[in-house]
Structure 1
Amino acid sequence: MNDTISDHTSATRSVSLLGLGDMGAAFARAWLAAGYSVTVWNRTASRADALVAEGATRAVSAADAVAANTLVVTCLLDDASVGEALESTDLTGKDLVDITTGTPTQARARATWAQARGARFLSGGIMAVPPMVGQPEAGGYVFYSGSSELFEARHEALAVPVGTRFVGTDAGHAALLDVALLSAMYGTFAGITHAFALVRDEDGIELKEFTPLLAGWLAAMLGAGLQMSGQPDSGDDTSDGGSSLAMQVAGIKTFVGTARDQGVSPELLTPYFDLMRRQLDSRHGTEGAKDLVDLLRSGSATVGRADG
């Protein structure tokens, strides 16, 4: 058992990890299983106990963890926590990889901050949940952006817990893609939640029979949704996925009315319905269903309630 920081025999197979929440601990275990020397630090020191028992080295402070290895990975609560943990550390010559969830703006600022302190920097956006870490077949990966030299130099180590995807030298791009994909996920979850709320207590409808119907429909509609959202790049603003915007807006009252008849709040759907109405109004009632992305990006869209 290693309970104090010791010299590492191979700098290329050693890593310091700051932050031992569920995700950080999963990354640490993956590196340990692959034979890496792992130094760990957490603000609540007891969270390191299990990992130390499994072969990790405990750092008594964030500064000690940073000093132990050239490759330093942060997986903390938020960007402010990263700044606080690293505030009094010497980052000269370090390879700092921040996989803390944050915004693109925060990642760019953190890159500038790290470079000013003599470190190379990568920002990461994790597209996985802890049980997927260390399981290549699960398909998890991390978006990385920032120093391409750092990514190339440390790719072998970074690829141990989950897959890697380098998405450019703009340090904010990993966070942006992370949030974009998760936003689509939450939007889908909202629709699924609403669908189950509609049918859950309905006599004669079994959820075990409804679930595969919903899964099949969502799979069938995915292509149409991607086509419609891709219109700004296609040069074709008349494509509507087979159903005009005017017709869809006319049907809003049916969706809202059905929800209310079933005793279900329409609040998960009404913001999108409101956006559809605004887009139709902006085209002066024409039938073309131009993509809604431009309206969101214009800053003129506001959250409202479609009342049917």
Structure 2
Amino acid sequence: MSISFEGKVAIVTGAGNGLGRSHALALAERGAKVVVNDLGGARDGTGASSDAAMEVVGIIEAAGGEAFAHGANVSKFDEVEDMVAQAMAKWGRVDILINNAGILRDKSFSKMDLADFKLVMDVHLMGSVNCTKAVWDIMREQNYGRIVMTTSSSGMYGNFGQSNYGAAKMAVLGFMNTLVLEGGKNNIHVNALAPTAGTRMTEDLMPPEMLGLLTAESVTAAALVLCDETAPTRTILCAGAGGYAKSGMYETDGIFLPQAEQNPEAIVAQWDELSDVSNHQPLESGSKQTEKFLMKAMAALKA
């Protein structure tokens, strides 16, 4: 099966460099019309330039594709709204959104200024919220949408010096989980990409021989899966250096304690059973956890 995006319109944020650039070029190569969004700042979010985004547009157009650049700061909703309005005026629909834009302000938490924490949250989390909000009703009305959040192993598992980045990258997964429930009836699939690539964001963190394996293109292959008509929903797809895996959150089956035993000592006493992963499973929504615990309580009452 060949994946094609003919007739589709895609918005890729942070598409002037690195992963975003790779995503935009690959979507265009497979037929998508692409909005190349990039503020054009440094990796810490400072500065602005349209040069990188315009270069990507030039490459797409030289290959016979359609694209335009927009310098919206994703943390500013009015700028994002203007970008989406231009896409609608030009092409009349938005089918794909890849929330890729991001910055780094790494420091250990004890040394981190709260302004740097907030800025990273604003770009990664609120940037994803703003862009998704701007296209959400469009996708609902056309009964079709594919949205990709960009998460990170730093959020799912932690990484020293990245409390701000990790918090933001975990937050987009919570955002995704609820959008999956709200968008499903309108054929809006929402997934997350967890990339490892040699980009401006990682160039100081790894030796050159390793960076050479971590190509942006290897990650983009996974991103395109999440943009396709056949894409899953609520999937965290991890990609890097040619390796691909799924990540997810699971909950153990747990234990039940009768009311007289609902105390911390009893919980500690049964900690091994509580932690047993043999029957662990993903939950479809927050209410499923409540349902599980109530079923345990009702079963105990009937016993």
Class of the TM-score when normalised by the shorter of the 2 chains: 0.3 to 0.5
Report the TM-score, using the length of structure 1 for normalisation: 0.33
CA radius of gyration, larger in? 1
Report the TM-score, using the length of structure 2 for normalisation: 0.33
